[in-house]
Structure 1
Amino acid sequence: MSVHGAVRVERVVTSGTFTLDGETFDVDNNVWLIGDDAEVLVVDAAHDAEAIHRATAGRRVTAVVCTHAHDDHIDAAPALSDLTGAPVLLHPDDTELWSLTHPGRKPDGELRDGRILTVAGIELRVIHTPGHTWGSCSLHAPFLNTVFTGDTLFHGGPGATGRSYSDRPAIEASLRARLLTLPGSTVVHTGHGPDTTIAAERPNVPTA
């Protein structure tokens, strides 16, 4: 847990599977909660809606934000929305991918590049970072000196692009133009595995 004033970032790790292109893998996912004692925003409702709901600890959930629509990042989103009344937000370029997991349920709202989401009095700016999927987005919280990158940027470099709905040149271009330009001290909260910083990952992204 990291704290800045009354606003804090909490990590919940959930376990399940990731399935795409006919293959299934066991995965542990980072679910991020950003907020204070009154309200919280959830990033990537993975695998276990009940566990995530418990972590919200009675706070008002302002939104369930999906960084992208791989099933391991959205499988619990509708159930968490039902438990909390919070809208599920996803970039429209991932609508087709979403429908593979939730064919009868659409997201409640759209993430767009530059959209500002607010929680606990702070702003998070949506950065469209296509490549891992076409609709992949990151959330930059300047007040917290933090960016939530989903599977676009990890400790060690770019996310995977070897499957459907992904493209290696696109993710590298997104990283160079949209994320590596953030202050080097910015903490990167990832979709899987440990945190890193923008400065630490700059050498791990090929130059154009």
Structure 2
Amino acid sequence: MSEPTSPSAVIDHTVTSGTFSLDGGTWEVDNNVWVLGDGTECVVIDAPHDAAAIVEQVAGRSVRAILLTHAHDDHVDSALELADQTGAPTYLHPEDRMLWDRVHDRAPDHELADGQTFDVAGVTLHVLHTPGHSPGACCFHVPELGIVFTGDTLFAGGPGATGRSFSDFDTIVASITDRLLSLPADTEVRTGHGDSTSIGAEAPHRQEWLDQHQG
């Protein structure tokens, strides 16, 4: 599925299915995959479960980068296969290496850093380090399109899960408050799982998240 976003950039979206495992549990999950680019080049955001399905979305374009929102296995398990098939480098924040190393025996090609930028198809993705769901979780803001890709940091309905190892509720709420809720209210939020939302739709519920956690 493709949707026009600007004269040069489109977002392709597919959903892949597999499992997420951590802390001795395993769950069935469906993951969003986002491909941002034009007719010749693109970047891939997250590499879950099925490299072949992602390659199909890429559709022969040059992949400039595989940008990983975090290193839970359901977001990175096909990253190296995708990299090998496309020749694209993988990027991960270094604070998530302990999670990556549980899945892969080869290091990511490059580290993500807060404030880093990636140019593709006439737009710029800005890296926002948003720890909480995991220590190295990152979001990718594209101001020209009014879009932010949030991985598992912010969903339709609130913050991503923080009840497992390497996660922290206070940290994720601080990240969302400081880095995401400060974006324009009409910014579209493209998530790692489930439906998209907007900053304006989520911002009014911050106190509810805090109250529910405390309760």
- TM-score, normalised to structure 2, is 0.94
Which residue of 2 is the match for residue 183 of structure 1? 184
C-alpha separation in 2, matches of 1:84 and 1:54 = 11
Deviations 1:30-65 (A, max 9, x none): 000000000010000100001101110000000001
Do the aligned partners of 1:158 and 1:205 also contact (CA within 8 Å) in 2? no
C-alpha separation in 1, matches of 2:205 and 2:20 = 25
Residues 128-139 of structure 1 mapped to structure 2, 5 A cutoff: 128-139=129-140
**1:199 and 2:204 correspond:** no
C-alpha separation in 1, matches of 2:75 and 2:24 = 17
Which residue of 1 is the match for residue 173 of structure 2? 172
Which residue of 1 is the match for residue 213 of structure 2? none
C-alpha separation in 2, matches of 1:2 and 1:110 = 30
Deviations 1:124-147 (A, max 9, x none): 000000000000000000111000
Give the deviation of 1:204 after TM superposition.
2.4
C-alpha separation in 1, matches of 2:205 and 2:3 = 25
Aligned residue type for 1:169 = D
Do the aligned partners of 2:66 and 2:83 also contact (CA within 8 Å) in 1? yes
From 91, 94, 97, give the equivalent of 2:93: 91
Deviations 1:175-203 (A, max 9, x none): 00000000000000000000000000002
Do the aligned partners of 2:153 and 2:159 also contact (CA within 8 Å) in 1? yes
C-alpha separation in 2, matches of 1:148 and 1:71 = 18
3-state secondary structure, aligned to 2:97:
helix
Which residue of 1 is the match for residue 112 of structure 2? 111
Aligned residue type for 1:99 = D
Measured on the aligned residues, the alpha-carbon RMSD in Å equals 1.0
Residues 1-208 of structure 1 mapped to structure 2, 5 A cutoff: 1-3=2-4, 4-102=6-104, 104-206=105-207
Aligned residue type for 2:139 = S
Give the deviation of 1:118 after TM superposition.
1.0
Deviations 1:88-145 (A, max 9, x none): 000000011110111x110000110000011112100000000000000000001110
C-alpha separation in 2, matches of 1:149 and 1:2 = 18
C-alpha separation in 2, matches of 1:129 and 1:205 = 16
C-alpha separation in 2, matches of 1:204 and 1:140 = 21
List gaps (5 residues or longer) in structure 2. Answer: 211-215
Do the aligned partners of 2:8 and 2:122 also contact (CA within 8 Å) in 1? no
- TM-score, normalised to structure 1, is 0.97
Aligned residue type for 2:171 = A
**Percentage of pairs with the same residue:** 55
C-alpha separation in 2, matches of 1:15 and 1:53 = 15
C-alpha separation in 2, matches of 1:204 and 1:21 = 29
3-state secondary structure, aligned to 1:205:
helix
Do the aligned partners of 2:51 and 2:78 also contact (CA within 8 Å) in 1? yes
Aligned residue type for 1:165 = F
3-state secondary structure, aligned to 1:101:
coil
Aligned residue type for 1:31 = V
Q: How many residues align?
A: 207
